[in-house]
Amino acid sequence: MPGENLSREEARARAAILSVERYDVALDVRSAVGPATGAGPRTFRSTTVIDFRCSQPGASTFADLVAPAVTSVRLNGRDLDPARVFDGARIALDNLAERNTLVVDASCAYSRTGEGLHRFEDPEDGAVYLYTQYEPADARRVFANFEQPDLKAPFTFQVTAPEGWTVLSNGAADGEPVPAEGGGATVSFVPTQPIATYITAVLAGPYHVEHDHYSRTLKDKAVLDIPLSALCRRSLARHFDADAIFEVTKQGLDFFHDAFDYPYPFGKYDQAFVPEYNLGAMENPGLVTFREEFVFRGKVTRPSYEHRANVVLHEMAHMWFGDLVTMRWWDDLWLKESFADFMGAFAQVEATEFTEGWITFANRRKAWAYRADQLPSTHPVVADIRDLEDAKLNFDGITYSKGAAVLKQLVAYVGRDAFLEAARRYFTRHAYGNTTLADLLSVLAETSGRDMAAWSRAWLETAGVNALTPRVGLDAEDRVAELVVEQGAAQSHPTLRPHRVAIGLYRRDEEGALTRYARAETDVAGPSTAVPELAGQPRPDLVLVNDEDLTYCKVRFDAASLDTLRSHLGDLTDPLARALAWSAVWNLTRDALMPAGDFLDLVLRFAGRESDIGVLQQLHQQARTALTRYVAKDARAAAGQALAAGALEALRAAEPGSGHQLAWARFFAAVAAAPADLRLLQGLLDGSEAIGGLDVDQELRWTLLGTLAAQGAADAAAISAERARDDTASGRRHEVRCLAARPDAAVKAEAWAAVVDSDALSNALVEATIAGFAQDGQADLLAPYAQPYFAAIEELWAKRSIEIGMSVVRGLYPAQQDDPRTLAATDAWLREREDAAPALRRLVLEARDDLARALRAQECDARR
């Protein structure tokens, strides 16, 4: 829609003349229940009062609102004609005074895409649930506003909802609910602190709520008391472990109060787990929202709990980095996301039981960053964000995980104390304000005494990832005569950076364990750096550059070290060193420097010995990618059979009832294809087969059935019967995925039409349909959709919300047609559609790069 994609220049121009004093927003959501009326979307009433100043009286600007209809617009007592001033996305405001009051009465649409005010009807009990999600700019789908992060203001919300509903917002309720004329009740909330529009929030529905509180005595002897609550749908309450969530919440509040020395500034702390959520979570102050998949319906492994704890702490870090102090524009998105990603892991390791957090960070989060940093769309951590579509796509591995890794390097560079003191000064100096890169660098320079401008140029203002490779020279006594670390970079992003690294030397001992016997920490700079501290050490079997994961780089090996890993990777006793080795060999595979078959051999030989279950699950995911994308096509069948056989052997050998057993069961189900393997899956489903200690609960049942459906061994009747066992929202999503996975041309046509030709499905069901449709191993069935994909995406991008557009463009790209013809078709579209939306072109370029990488890897594997 014209006007929806706000540009940076428009935002700057508006901020130059406006300052907002307050918002009063009244929402009436009683229409969420009962039958829908009329032919259009189901709507709710939204009334907004904005008091704002203009430094240039007589100037013109606009307010943002995306709504089906506007009933009235009044500016400074003048009634404006909605038909003249409202274009569907903006309200034109002319002849502004120095002080202004804007009143907008509108009919806004409930969302089915997770953007704006999302409405969900629980199939289990018919209950209706509402919640808002705005980042980066969807508050305008709920109330009129100035939708940019640097026009912060206090907000006062009032919500009229059906009787008996729980209604929450950022602030605490201001008194008891008041009966509303015509039924229901109105809840008013106290004004918020000055915050940005994108972190305001409203939630309403018959939620299950549990309560707790957090108390702390501050340095000035004042007592901080924070009411806590945790919410989920009523039908999930039997699975809800709120006590565990409260425990992590309190541990996090303790950690951040100690680290930041700035009291939590937003009063209460509610955490709601909501249905059909597009994100992991959102840091709305006082009302954090999470995807409800964090309420575990069955048995999960420890990394699932670790991940949930990390997300809780990530969002909590945002209360300071992002909510208290907010970036001026989305260029500096990293000022909140990079810091939250880093501080989430930092707090997790130091304050909770999940002390393995840095291993997970090294192996999983940085894998996301390495991939993103090698795409054609890579960008500096401090990005060039032209508009809101750019902003939406920059919630990526660069902004989150590379930025967090860079901050980990920064802590090694300036020291922990200087880093935390800089954070404290930053919050005190800029509380409730907006900042840029320069504001953060100035406090870091103050506390560290370091040249932060040079550090920033190297790490924050350039793109790309460096590779560090050791070169070892030995003397006549078989000792290290010279050890040099060589630094390389891609031609497209040739910057060589300063790295603070640890280099570890490892040897196998008499018991065969591969352990570190020498270590040096040094600053690597330029193309070659000698490490004289290690001269004279006995010959190493393995040299591990970036031991302890201090910097952000791709680790390479000298020939002798790589030979050692091929034979003895599983003998590395240190779990972080082992995780770094796995990460390095995976990067070699992705870069077509190691055949994918060799990587799978390493997995088959050593993954069964992996003690860290998070690393194991990452290896499972990478092995699936290697099998379906990087192994040469004529070798895939044999590689798949070997992988399935190895997975089954590890499954049977795993400790009964353990997380490792569950992880191997899920992996075996993912790669099973042989008739005997499918019979075992079917037997586990119907109870005719059993593996000691393995609980085939409902979630695992859906995993097994998904494979059977994709292999043509489960029909629609079997899937419907499983849905009858699990008549829940989760069951519905699994049913849709399994139905679309069946290897049948008519099934694929129906799934394609449901996603591309119709917008009737919710965001969650779009995701489930795509997951079922785009099955590996069904290339022939999916081939007819390659050309229609390129014909459809531009119109689809223009007509659908950006969230749905991203899901469809990414999910339906014909990656299964992994041959040069698909690459050529992609290149042809990019040539012919140079004027397509930049964000759309970025998504297609990224998909093309993944395909080109896969083809290079297949060529490497074919030479094996």
Catalytic residues, which ones?
Answer: 315
**Cβ burial, residue 167 (10 Å; 0-12/13-18/19+):** buried
User: Chain-centre distance of CA 272, in angstroms?
Assistant: 18
- DSSP category for residue 538: B
Task: Say which residue the tokens 């019979």 belong to.
Answer: 679
**Cβ burial, residue 660 (10 Å; 0-12/13-18/19+):** buried
Alpha-carbon gap, residue 398 to 791, rounded angstroms: 30
Contact between residue 745 and residue 771 where contact means Cβ atoms under 8 Å apart? no
Query: Which helix (H) or strand (E) covers residue 101, if one does?
Result: strand 99-109
Tokens found for residue 686: 């119907």
- DSSP category for residue 365: I
Alpha-carbon gap, residue 132 to 113, rounded angstroms: 11
Contact between residue 683 and residue 701 where contact means Cβ atoms under 8 Å apart? no
How many other C-beta atoms can be found within 10 angstroms of the C-beta atom of residue 101? Answer: 15
Beta bridge partners of 283: none
**Separate counts of helices (H) and strands (E) for the chain:** 29, 28
Separation in Å, CA 778 to CA 641, 744, 781, 809, 817: 17, 9, 5, 19, 9
Angle between helices 820-832 and 786-799 (to 10 degrees): 40
> How far does the chain reach from its first CA to its final CA, in angstroms?
52
Alpha-carbon gap, residue 703 to 173, rounded angstroms: 43
Where b means 16+ CB within 10 Å and e means fewer, 732-752 reads bbbbbbbbbbbbeeebbeebb
Alpha-carbon gap, residue 483 to 36, rounded angstroms: 73
Q: Strand 467-474 relative to strand 554-555: parallel, antiparallel, unpaired?
A: parallel
User: Chain-centre distance of CA 731, in angstroms?
Assistant: 24
Residue 25: name the closest of 167, 198, 154, 193 by CA: 154
User: Chain-centre distance of CA 380, in angstroms?
Assistant: 18
Query: Which helix (H) or strand (E) covers residue 155, if one does?
Result: strand 155-161
- DSSP category for residue 282: E
Contact between residue 23 and residue 102 where contact means Cβ atoms under 8 Å apart? no
Separation in Å, CA 223 to CA 42, 226, 252, 262, 428: 46, 10, 17, 13, 20
**For the chain, what is the radius of gyration of the CA atoms?**
28
Long-range contacts of 443-446 (CB under 8 A, 24+ apart): 444/410, 444/414, 444/418, 444/419, 446/422
Long-range contacts of 838-842 (CB under 8 A, 24+ apart): 838/386, 838/389, 838/390, 839/389, 839/390, 839/392, 839/393, 839/797, 839/802, 840/793, 840/794, 840/797, 840/805, 840/809, 842/377, 842/393
Alpha-carbon gap, residue 152 to 25, rounded angstroms: 15
Contact between residue 298 and residue 281 where contact means Cβ atoms under 8 Å apart? no
Task: Say which residue the tokens 């997975």 belong to.
Answer: 647
Sign of CA dihedral 798, 800, 803, 805: negative
Task: Say which residue the tokens 């605490």 belong to.
Answer: 172
Give percent helix, percent strand, percent coil of the chain, each to the nearest 5.
45, 20, 30
- DSSP category for residue 399: I
